[in-house]
Structure 1
Amino acid sequence: MTLLDTASRDAATLETTPTRYIEGRAARFAYRRLGPSTGTPLVLLQHFSGNIDAWDPAVVNALAADRPVIAFDNAGVGRSTGQTPDNVEAMARDAVDFINSLGLSKVDLLGFSLGGCVAQQIASEHGALVRKLILVGTAPKGGEEHLLMVLQQAFSQTDAPDPRLPLFFTTSDPSRSSGLAFLKRTKVRKDDRDTDNGNAVTDPQAKALITWCATPDPDHEILRAIRQPVLVVSGSHDTMLPADNAYVMFKHLSNAQLALYPDSGHGALFQHHEMFVSHVRTFLDAEAIAA
């Protein structure tokens, strides 16, 4: 019996499934696993400053309806031990350590924001491990980012109930309403919630993301090394990692599809969660087209 079969998870949701732990070489990793016990697991790689409970249950639970889904804290984040690295390459090594510790030989990856940078690094280096790749609200190496400026603007809006509202959503009424609904969904879980480790996480993660985007890759070597099918998703008004990044990735990846969502910011996958889940399911279930 494998780790993925240790308990029945038919009724598990992100809000109710217990947090589990596994020892890796780099850390003792905290994770939640839901969905069926068979099929290619979809491993979620989280955004800057985020932990397991920052994922939207509307996205995670819907994706887990027909496939295994694993949300985890990388080294130093949330309830995982270890130290948060200040570079994407080390974050990728830690994530692969986690995947290997679970005994998984083939996974799909969903990388959001900083997690999308980590996902690119993993897919470019571990072609046999990654089956398909979903990159959301992220940037290629050498891409465009406005992290510090956008964070400063978001935290200056003292009337916002949560900085993720101005960070992830636009100022339109529909987008703001979707943002408030998203925030409500992320707070449903009351017991066994993940922890916020503050500057010990955000300082090195900010350095990692800024360095990734500031490091030129004129020949797009990372993107050209990714041979797996890729779904690239972005919001039309992403102020943190603008949608131009999505088009660059789409152009230079050998086997990519591109989806741009209307009137949406960095959190487009949460605002348009039903459409996003539908796109992801169609992408993951489709037969791979040779690159």
Structure 2
Amino acid sequence: MSYANVGGLSLYVEEHGSGPGEPLVLLHGGFGAGETFAPVLPALSERRRVFLVDLQGHGRTADIDRPLRPELMADDIAALIQHLGLARADVLGYSVGADVALRTAIQHPDRVRRLVTVSTPARRDGWFPEVVAQMDQMTAAAAEPMKQSPLYELYARLAPRVRDWPVLVAKLAEMKQQDYDWTSDIAKITAPVLLVYADADAVQPAHMVEFFTLLGGAQQDPGWDASARPASRLAILPDATHYDILISPLLPGAVLPFLDAPDAATA
């Protein structure tokens, strides 16, 4: 357990595992913390060094005077990879963390070897309309009733300044109400990408396929020898939703073969 001073933040980081595989950075969802990856951490850390990160204002990382934005937190993660003495790392993010992971690969392609995004779209209207409506209705006033939720229990147990809970709620609400469309930026990603979704996700299935198409997938039959198969992958996990996909026993089985596959340059 340690803190890394990057981007004006004292960013909380935990390292697990010591296997020979490529280092892996895990980024949690909104209102979460690195420890929310506990269900899949044993499998992921068995063969590699895994770094659990608490993003700005989450978990054990105190907030600073700047808005929550995936683009800013992506700069934090790129700086963290450098701070850890790594030339590059694999990066896996879930929900808000997937947004940060995606922006890291877009803004700092030299720092990301392989990218896994779990349960997030490439643009805001990729969510189901009712999800967007819920984001639009969220305000700082939700902070008090949310104190009855497991999200607050996690925050209250870990946060260095528990009084900042209303600030986190307000900042996340403001962030999730920002319109965005990153589809034109996908071409800047040089890493192979694995898109992971639940079969009952909050992201529209048509957008899942569209996102995969932007990465070179779903273009043609790969051929009997798979010579035309794209470098990126799409995985849809059965019997899962946006809210419980991290506890799916199928998640490590989808992620590890992708991360362990040889790079095209060395295959």
Q: What TM-score do the two structures reach when normalised by structure 1?
A: 0.71
Q: Is the 8 A contact 1:41 1:69 kept in 2?
A: yes
Change (3 A) 1:50 1:124: same
Report the counterpart of residue 134 of structure 2 in structure 1: 149
Counterpart selection for 2:42 from 24, 44, 61: 61
Report the counterpart of residue 222 of structure 2 in structure 1: none
Higher strand share: 2
> Structure 1: how far apart are the matches of 2:45 and 2:136?
31
Q: What TM-score do the two structures reach when normalised by structure 2?
A: 0.77
> Structure 2: how far apart are the matches of 1:289 and 1:72?
28
Q: RCO higher in 1 or 2 (8 Å CA, sep ≥ 6)?
A: 1
- Verify: 1:251 aligned to 2:213, yes or no: yes
Counterpart AA for 2:211: M
Change (3 A) 1:252 1:107: same
Report the counterpart of residue 22 of structure 1 in structure 2: 4
Change (3 A) 1:56 1:24: closer
Partner-residue secondary structure (3-state), 2:252: helix
Change (3 A) 1:200 1:249: same
Change (3 A) 1:209 1:97: farther
**CA shift for structure 1 position 70:** 0.6
Alignment of structure 1 residues 240-279 onto 2, 5 Å: 241-254=203-216, 255-272=231-248, 274-279=249-254
Report the counterpart of residue 58 of structure 2 in structure 1: 77
- Verify: 1:109 aligned to 2:91, yes or no: yes
> Structure 2: how far apart are the matches of 1:131 and 1:201?
31
Q: Deviations over 1:214-247 (max 9, x none)?
A: 2345xx22212112111111111123x3444322
Q: Deviations over 1:81-138 (max 9, x none)?
A: 3426332211211222222222221100001101111111110121211000001011
Counterpart AA for 2:158: D
Partner-residue secondary structure (3-state), 1:23: strand
- Verify: 1:138 aligned to 2:120, yes or no: yes
Change (3 A) 1:288 1:268: farther
Report the counterpart of residue 236 of structure 1 in structure 2: 199
Bigger mean CA deviation after superposition, 74-83 or 114-123: 74-83
Cα root mean square deviation, aligned: 2.9
> Structure 2: how far apart are the matches of 1:50 and 1:147?
20
Change (3 A) 1:194 1:120: same
**CA shift for structure 1 position 147:** 5.1
Identity across matched positions, percent: 27
Counterpart AA for 2:17: G
Partner-residue secondary structure (3-state), 1:78: coil
> Structure 2: how far apart are the matches of 1:105 and 1:85?
28
Q: Is the 8 A contact 1:111 1:135 kept in 2?
A: yes
Partner-residue secondary structure (3-state), 1:236: strand
**CA shift for structure 1 position 59:** 0.5
> Structure 1: how far apart are the matches of 2:167 and 2:205?
29
Counterpart AA for 2:51: I
Alignment of structure 1 residues 187-266 onto 2, 5 Å: 194-195=158-159, 197-211=164-178, 214-217=179-182, 220-239=183-202, 241-254=203-216, 255-266=231-242
| Corresponding residue pairs, total | 235
Bigger mean CA deviation after superposition, 82-91 or 118-127: 82-91
> Structure 1: how far apart are the matches of 2:132 and 2:23?
31
Gaps of 5+ in 1: 1-18, 165-185, 188-192
